[in-house]
Amino acid sequence: MRCTNDDEMEPLSLEASSRQVSRDTVTVEIVYSVVTGAIIAALLFFVIASPAFIWDLSSGFHSVVMGLAATFSAAGFVYQVISVLVQLKRATK
């Protein structure tokens, strides 16, 4: 049987709990940034590509509109993820 002193274990337990809370916070922020980034990307794609879906465009113009929609939606996703993670880094300092 191993004898331990509960008073000696308490600071370690609080420190471990604090680290777990910190990891949970980072995980939640990462998921938040990815989900909101995906929503922003979908909205940007829909807004930019909607003329190609609504009107009968020539194939060349249709390709340009779809390319722009894909580019802007990807850029919106990356911007959202990076901005949320930078805000998290600033908040943890």
Q: What is the pLDDT of residues 14-28, one digit of tens each?
A: 677 778 877 888 889
For residue 53, tell me if it sits in a domain. yes
For residue 31, tell me if it sits in a domain. no
State the pTM of this model: 0.74
Note the pLDDT of residue 10: 53
For residue 30, tell me if it sits in a domain. no
For residue 20, tell me if it sits in a domain. no
Helix axes 6-54, 59-92, angle to 10 degrees: 160
Q: What is the pLDDT of residues 76-90, one digit of tens each?
A: 999 999 999 999 888
Note the pLDDT of residue 83: 95
Note the pLDDT of residue 17: 78
Q: Count of domains in the chain?
A: 1
48's CB contacts (< 8 A; 6+ apart) are: 65, 68, 69, 72, 73
Amino acid at 50: S
Domain assignment of residue 70, given as a range: 38-93
